[in-house]
Amino acid sequence: MSDQSPPNVNDIMTRIDELTQRIVSIESTKELLIRIDERTMGILSEMNSIKNGYVRKEEFNPVQKIVYGLVGVILISVMGGILAIILR
């Protein structure tokens, strides 16, 4: 025969309350994890859209060379004009 006495109703009710609280805690944690996952997916999609909006360096190099060339021509023209005025 066992030395344990059968659990009384109060012990059982206390245990049921503890388990109910654990279940509620698990459900709230589950909802929190779902919200975190949704936010993470939103951030990833925003990062992908931002990433697709930028120009890569390989695509920018030809534009950079053209712009630098035009700026150089303009600066040489301005310096030539100033030099022509000074030498008159």
Q: Hunting for tokens 């697709």 — which residue is that?
A: 52
Alpha-carbon gap, residue 19 to 37, rounded angstroms: 27
One digit per residue, the tens of pLDDT, for the chain of length 88 reads: 456 777 788 888 888 889 898 888 888 888 889 999 999 999 998 888 888 777 778 888 899 999 999 999 999 999 999 999 999 8
pLDDT at 28: 86
CA angle in degrees (0–180, nearest 5) for 17-23-29: 140
In whole angstroms, how far apart are CA 18 and each of 15, 24, 25, 28, 29? Answer: 5, 10, 11, 15, 16
CA distance 42 to 47: 9
pLDDT at 52: 78
